[in-house]
Amino acid sequence: RIALTLGAYFLHKNERYWNACVFMKQFESIIYHIAASHISSDLLLRMMYAFMAGEDYDEALKLDIARATSLGELGVQGEDYD
């Protein structure tokens, strides 16, 4: 979550206010997969490039994100999650 906050702060300091708001919403669920090393730096770069360009993710990128986020568990365990 610190990386998410720092990313939004960086955008805010560079006067990209709307991008900072959208960044928080769009990358909140992704940040856990980045921390768990499910998303590679190359995939993250592609995601950030599309985000900063204001483009929608192309079909190949969407599939790569889906594959990466399905690689493993996020460590949530307990009787409520079985």
Nearest Cα neighbor of 57 from 35, 36, 28, 26 is 26
Cα→Cα distances 27→3, 22, 41, 54, 81, Å: 10, 8, 14, 14, 23
> How far is it, in rounded angstroms, from Cα 77 to Cα 37?
19
The pLDDT value given to residue 31: 85
Is pTM, for the whole model, over 0.75?
A: no
Residues 22-81: tens digit of each pLDDT:
888 888 888 888 888 889 999 999 999 999 898 999 999 999 999 998 876 655 555 555
The pLDDT value given to residue 73: 66
